[in-house]
């Protein structure tokens, strides 16, 4: 389990939104984890590789079949959390947070979605 005291506010919001999607449709947990894995296991010629959000451009690859549904969810969550906070209170809370940065990448949201899917499913 992830210690909620060490997570950023943005990570907590992403995890909460992903949990909500999973509770609405339990069949999405596996595809969210698969999406995170396929984003991390990029076949890239450089030595960097890893989670980079490139899976969004690779849906036509046979190994990425059936990932459009979880990607749509992740993109919605990404869009939701990429907007500035809706209230002054949230802005104050973010400013108080170390760094106070309200930026997050699609790759971050994909990875968090996979981790949250495992947690909601009762995994390690």
CATH number at residue 62: 1.10.520.10
pLDDT mean over 91-117: 74
Considering 28, 29, 38, 70, which one is annotated as catalytic? 38
Residue 81 burial (C-beta neighbours within 10 Å; 0-12, 13-18, 19+): buried
- pLDDT class for 21, splitting at 50, 70, 90? very high
Q: How many domains does the chain have?
A: 1
- pLDDT class for 103, splitting at 50, 70, 90? confident
> What pLDDT, in 10s, does the model give residues 65-84?
999 999 999 999 999 887 66
Domain housing 36 = 4-120
The half-sphere exposure of 108 on its side-chain side, counting CA atoms within 13 A, is 17
- At 55 the pLDDT is 93
Report how far residue 36's alpha carbon sits from residue 39's, in angstroms, rounded to the nearest whole number.
Answer: 5
The reply to whether 38 belongs to the active site is yes
User: Looking at 1-10, 24-33, 56-65, 84-93, which range is the least confident one?
Assistant: 84-93
What's the pTM value of the predicted model, to 2 decimals? 0.78
pLDDT mean over 15-41: 96
* pLDDT > 80? residue 6: no
The half-sphere exposure of 20 on its side-chain side, counting CA atoms within 13 A, is 10
To the nearest whole percent, how much of the chain has pLDDT over 90?
Answer: 56
* pLDDT > 90? residue 59: yes
Report how far residue 62's alpha carbon sits from residue 115's, in angstroms, rounded to the nearest whole number.
Answer: 24
């Amino acid at each position: 389990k992830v210690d909620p005291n060490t997570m950023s506010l943005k990570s907590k919001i992403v995890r909460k939104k992903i949990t909500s999607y999973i509770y609405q449709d339990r069949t999405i947990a596996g595809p969210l984890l698969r999406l995170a894995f396929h984003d991390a296991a990029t076949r890239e010629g450089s030595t960097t590789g890893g989670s980079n959000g490139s899976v969004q451009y690779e849906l036509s690859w046979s190994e990425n079949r059936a990932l459009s549904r979880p990607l749509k969810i992740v993109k919605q969550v990404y869009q939701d959390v990429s907007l500035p906070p809706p209230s002054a209170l949230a802005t104050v809370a973010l400013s108080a947070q170390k760094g106070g940065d309200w930026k997050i990448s699609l790759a971050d949201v994909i990875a968090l979605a996979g981790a949250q899917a495992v947690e909601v499913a009762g995994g390690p």
